[in-house]
Structure 1
Amino acid sequence: MTQETTPVTDSAEPLVSIKDLEIGFQTGNGFVQAVKGVSFDIFPGETVAIVGESGSGKSTTATGIIDLLPSNGRITGGQVMFGGKDLTKASKQEIVRVRGREIGYVPQDPMSNLNPVWSVGFQVREAVLANNMAKNKKDADRRAIEVLQEAGLADAERRMKQFPHQFSGGMRQRVLIGIGLAADPKLLIADEPTSALDVTVQRVILDHLESLTREKNTALLLITHDLGLAAERASKVIVMYQGKIVEAGPSLELLQNPQHPYTKRLIAAAPSLASQRLKSSRVVAEAPQGDEIDLAAASAHRHEVVEQADHAGTPAIEVKDLTKVFSIRRGSFRSEPFTAVDKVNFQVPRGTTMALVGESGSGKSTVAKMVLGLETATEGEILIGGKDATALNREEMLAHRRRMQPVFQDPYGSLDPMRSIGSIIQEPLDVHKIGGRKERENRVNEVIDEVALPRTVLSRYPNELSGGQRQRIAIARALALKPDVVILDEAVSALDVLVQAQILQLLADLQEELGLTYLFITHDLAVVRVVADDVAVMERGKIVEHGKVEDIFTNAQTEYTQKLLDAIPGANIPLGA
């Protein structure tokens, strides 16, 4: 749903006026200026989005408004005018009175921002009491139930007694939104409120957030790295780069006629917008040059290469009637069977990419684990290069795994923080006893070159690298054994769009150069359109639709697939000629 391009207000006075704001951090290498002279206004009822990559200063700007900076951060200049008062000059007590009651805040990660040892009801009640919205515990309980109901949670009274781990990601995010809006604030700051959610859940959450803020005439400051999402949801978009605002204006105008090179880079790298350009056939099939990555052009080029290749012969992967049934504990020593994957069939020709898509719980990651041999199939066959992987003994399985390697969603969680990058990449060579010390060292140097990182990173550790660099290391580790097949499970979903575009381009280059076959697991159909040749859509353990990417995108046959397509952020924004 695209918002109007004018504030929902007749007021000529801004609700918040930020003037020449400067924020810095004290680090081991001295004082670092993170926000440099930022100025913008937010009017009552208006939705404003700040976009930019990690480190651009967007979240620091947002948290600086309500003094939620880390202990080593401080405002060094400028003003934050709110209600006739400069919040940069306000006392701690005055800021606490404003925070929550007049300015609400929704943080990015609901799991780390809800205490796992306290019930959800206790945490909502604490917020209600902190904002003086109840006189006693009974009133607080009543208001807490109302908050959860307003957040869209059914059976709110029962949910009060549950704990965060018993909620889905979307439900936890609804709780945080409910807490943020509990005191009917004049402004709500939402920092990447849906970045970790499936696109369909994301859409439900953002629709709900939009309706709540409209009903209460609450202004919304939305922080995001996704320009498509920002343009779809906000009336005004502010683009930040290296601590400064480089461009700002009405969302549709900025999207259709960007002026700054950085804004143009964000548009070119956003999968949802690249998908739009592919749909309208306004793409020249040329590989991008240098650091400038246009996902639509890169995708058109890759499809051209794949179409010219000969994929006859035995498929790299063939799955026949693959089924997985889990036994789920139901208490009192009882258990029930749960079919997570139900008679799934597909083929992946050599040198191509097949995407397996669906919402969380659809069974796509369970399929990937069975193909990798990390889960045992209940029924069915998994043929890798024509050989049944479900009938292998232990030695044969070790050889089988050498031909297939995984790349997971969280590059930090999948890399040992206690080992150097060089030893992390070399580990598969050690496990499979490939070559001697010198041969292994040479192979590590080869793959670090293949993923376009300097060899100097080999002596460093994961915490010293950026998210994009860590994902390149994860890819290098997967390539060390020269596999035929790489299984990528949500491998780019946690990355900023610019870093994501670089990784997707790297994967395409490696596939073209090395003849790799990819099974790409994702919930994001915008990414699917620019990286995959074929796509299988999973719902509740079954494949409900399967075909060429363009056929699925232009002529979806099921309501579920169409729902996934409609949920792509910015997918229906006209980009102009």
Structure 2
Amino acid sequence: MTEENTVQTLSTGAAPADPTTPLVEVDDLQVTFTTANGDVHAVRGVSFDIYPGETVAIVGESGSGKSTSATALIKLLAGNGRISGGSIKVEGKDITGYNEQQMAAVRGGIIGYVPQDPMSNLNPVWNIGFQVREAIRANGVAKGKKDIEAKAIEVLHQAGLADAERRLKQFPHQFSGGMRQRVLIGIGLGADPKLLIADEPTSALDVTVQKVILDHLESLTREKNTAMLFITHDLGLAAERASKVIVMSQGKIVEAGPSLELLQNPQHPYTKQLIAAAPSLASRRIHSTVGEHLTDGVEGPDMLTLAERHEDSEAAVEAAPVVVKVEDLRKTYMIRRGSFKSDPLHAVDGISFDIHKGTTLALVGESGSGKSTAARLVLGLEKPTDGQITVGGVGMADASSKQLFDLRRRMQVVFQDPYASLDPQRSIGAIIAEPLKVHKVGNRKSRDARVAELLDQVALPSAMADRYPNELSGGQRQRIAIARALALKPEVVVLDEAVSALDVLVQAQVLQLLADLQAELDLTYLFITHDLAVVRVVADAVAVMEKGKIVETGATDEIFENAQQEYTQRLLDAIPGAGIEFGA
């Protein structure tokens, strides 16, 4: 068959898919990356099939080969990566030898792709509308300026962006991480593909928008017979949404089978370890293990049941001094809408809260509710339109340059998007040591020792110091961002979706690490997240935000067991897999 005929056959796909014939067949797939230290075998003999209309989830820890297996299906591996063995058949045709022209007929129309990292996959120079329209034009979904514009609005609406018409003129940096992720989901769905590969498609989304997206993807599977390949670390999502689960570890499949059966009755020790480490809405709270002896067999964070917690814990929190005080804080942006006119957008609209020393306040809410904006205001990265922020008795509005510099050392941040916050041209060691150099802490030898200590604390090898961000997975980059924030041993740490990109094993380690550091150093945390299962196990108090306002606040147990607002209850009800009891 000629190249032209091959492209035409793949791109038309007129005949209805045979439900008994695999849409994608992966047989003994091997992927190798060439590095300065030799070849790295990232995927080693992976085999699986995906049938029309089937939803498959691949789970495993960061670096297990999940994303590499997925990107190999559409031949979008990094420049130093190659398929070194095995075959990938799409609609019965082996695509491993396809060139770029042939792959253009496969990507978009047959296999859609939603990448993991929203910021690095959206061009910061072009507005959102331009990028969505270009994807629609490239896939041939619509023709003519009006049709393309209408389709752009439609796909963003489908992806959960309610005010799509207004948002088209905005740029990626004006969107929250969750909103950027929705744009990528809209682009991935734009050409109605037969298979959609979604690499952590909802990791940056709040639970209510996540439910909207997943419900929409499920309706695609049902109505258009679209197959789905989820790459996820969320076991609840895998159990609730996938018909089949594949568990990967160190580049190999260790267990696979029907989702509920596998997760409720796991056979492999690694699968059992994943399930044991996953946080849930059960009444549990991580406590510090400082001073306690931990055996090598500990699989997840050490947690206390409500009955085991101190009855006066809420009173103890209230008795602690206030470290961060926010009073009537407001932030308004002016959004351009053409004809030299602008509309006000009240991102933060009169919020107030206190964070007591040595405690954790979780700020939760939907994407775009103002959580991350509030964090940037507290950190002094943006100036408020109105209101007052006091940190350690120092009012930030009236602070001198020296006082603000001193505050920077006492107050560190882990941003939501680890790739955008890590300099791609600097080594990991230099990135982690940067705060130490800026604040003139120690000499080179002591800084190197501190870098090695921090890498160990976030469960990464010390040899990682010589590598660069583009050589790391999303979860590994997030751990580097956490290590950098902890370098100066600050008093206050703002964590903006700090564990959203982490697999459950590493998430458990990091959450335990944060609890230990809090106990040891009397740290104060502002924890911004959409993952309410994590909130349950880390936070002392919760503030719920909606459309720039705090609609409910209180102790964590009180909010989870007796939510007063319908909005808060909606957040709790939308958590994937909340009603599923996993095995061990």
**Residue equivalent to 2:570:** 563
**Hey, what's the Cα distance between the residues in 2 that align with 1:496 and 1:67?**
24
Measure, in 1, the Cα distance between the counterparts of 2:208 and 2:579.
15
Query: Which residue, out of 44, 48, 69, partners 1:61?
Result: 69
**Structure 2 residue matching 1:356: 3-state secondary structure:** strand
Measured at CA, do residues 474 and 441 of structure 1 come closer, stay the same or move farther in structure 2, by a change above 3 Å? farther
In the TM superposition, 1:312-391 aligns within 5 A as 312-328=319-335, 337-391=344-398
Q: Is the 8 A contact 2:54 2:221 kept in 1?
A: no
1:18 aligns with 2:26: yes
- Structure 2: state its 5+ residue gaps: 1-16
**Residue type of the alignment partner of 2:368:** G
Kindly indicate whether residue 257 of structure 2 is the aligned counterpart of residue 249 of structure 1.
yes
Aligned to 1:540: 547
**1:499 matched residue in structure 2:** 506
User: Conserved in 2, the CA contact under 8 Å of 1:359 and 1:539?
Assistant: yes
Amino acid at match of 1:128: G
CA contact (8 A) 2:377 2:383 kept: yes
Partner of residue 203 from structure 1, selected from 189, 211, 220: 211
Select which of 281, 289, 307 maps to 2:313. Answer: 307
SS in 2 for 1:32: strand
C-alpha distance 144-291 of structure 1, shift in aligned 2 (>3 A):
farther
- After TM superposition, give the deviation of residue 443 of structure 1 in Å: 7.5
SS at match of 2:202: coil
Equivalent residues in 2 for 1:453-532, closer than 5 Å = 453=457, 460=466, 463=469, 471=478, 474-532=481-539
How far the C-alpha of 1:163 sits from its partner, in A, is: 7.9
Conserved 8 A contact 1:187-1:219: yes
Cα RMSD, aligned residues only:
4.2
Q: Aligned in 2, Cα 1:416/1:308: closer, same or farther, shift over 3 Å? A: same
How far apart, CA to CA, are the structure 1 residues paired with 2:371 and 2:74? Answer: 41
- Quick one: structure 1 residues 460 and 44, their matched pair in 2 at CA, closer, same or farther if it must change by over 3 Å? closer
Amino acid at match of 1:49: A
Q: By how many angstroms is 1:293 displaced? A: 4.0
Shift of 1:574: 2.9
Letter in 1 for 2:245: V
Aligned residue for 2:303, secondary structure, equals helix
In the superposition, relative to structure 1, how do residues 178 and 547 fare at CA in structure 2: closer, same or farther (>3 Å)? same
Question: CA, structure 1 residues 424+441, in 2 after alignment: closer, same or farther (shift >3 Å)?
Answer: farther
| CA distance in 1 between partners of 2:505 and 2:218 (Å) | 27
Partner residue in 1 for 2:14: none
2:6 maps to none
Cα 1:415–1:224 change in 2 (3 A) is closer
Counterpart CA distance in 1 for 2:569 and 2:104 is 45
Secondary structure at 1:572's aligned position in 2? Answer: coil
The alignment status of 1:176 with 2:183, answered yes or no, reads: no
Q: Which residue of 1 aligns with 2:280?
A: 275
**Partner residue of 2:236?**
228
Select 1:213's aligned residue among 210, 218, 221: 221
1:128 pairs with 2:135: no
8 Å CA contact 2:285–2:304 kept in 1: the answer is no
Letter in 1 for 2:187: L
Matched residue type, 2:356: P
Cα shift readout 1:290-318 (whole Å, capped 9, x = no counterpart): 47442473797996699399442422223
Distance 1:349 1:21 in 2: 52
- 1:294 equivalent among 295, 300, 306: 300
Aligned counterparts of 2:108 and 2:378: Cα–Cα separation in 1: 48
Structure with the greater alpha carbon radius of gyration? 1
Query: Paired residue for 2:453?
Result: 449
Which is further off, 350-359 or 73-82? 73-82
Q: 2:43 aligns with which of 35, 40, 48?
A: 35
Aligned match of 1:239 in 241, 247, 250? 247
Q: Is the partner of 2:322 in helix, strand or coil?
A: coil
**Which residue does 2:11 correspond to in 1?**
none
Q: 1-side partners of 2:554 and 2:581: how far apart?
A: 27
| Counterpart Cα distance in 1 of 2:493 and 2:212 | 33
Q: Would the aligned equivalents of 1:45 and 1:217 in 2 still touch at CA under 8 Å?
A: yes
CA contact (8 A) 1:468 1:503 kept: no
Aligned match of 2:154: 149
Which one of the candidate residues 399, 406, 415 is aligned to 2:413? 406
Q: Secondary structure at the match of 1:361?
A: coil
On the 8 A contact 2:275/2:583 being kept in 1, the answer is no
The structure-2 alpha-carbon separation of the partners of 1:188 and 1:509, relative to structure 1 and needing over 3 Å to count, comes to same
The residue aligned with 2:5 is none
Paired residues in the alignment total: 551
The CA deviation at 1:543 is 0.8
- 1:474 offset after TM fit, Å? 4.4
Please state how far the C-alpha of 1:238 moved relative to its aligned partner.
0.6
Q: Is the 8 A contact 2:286 2:304 kept in 1?
A: no
Residue 392 in 1 paired to residue 392 in 2?
no
Q: Distance in 2 between matches of 1:407 and 1:141?
A: 42
Q: Structure 1 residues 220 and 415 mapped into 2: Cα distance closer, same or farther (>3 Å)?
A: closer
Q: Secondary structure at the match of 2:256?
A: strand
- Distance in 2 between residues matched to 1:301 and 1:443, nearest whole Å: 43
Correspondent of 2:57 among 44, 49, 52? 49
**Bigger shift: residues 379-388 or 564-573:** 379-388
Helix, strand or coil at the partner of 2:542: strand
Q: Distance in 2 between matches of 1:89 and 1:418?
A: 33
User: How far apart are the structure 1 equivalents of 2:83 and 2:220?
Assistant: 31
**TM-aligned CA deviation for residue 353 of structure 1:** 0.7
Query: Cα offset for 1:518?
Result: 1.0
Inter-CA distance 456–315: structure 2 relative to 1 (3 Å threshold): same
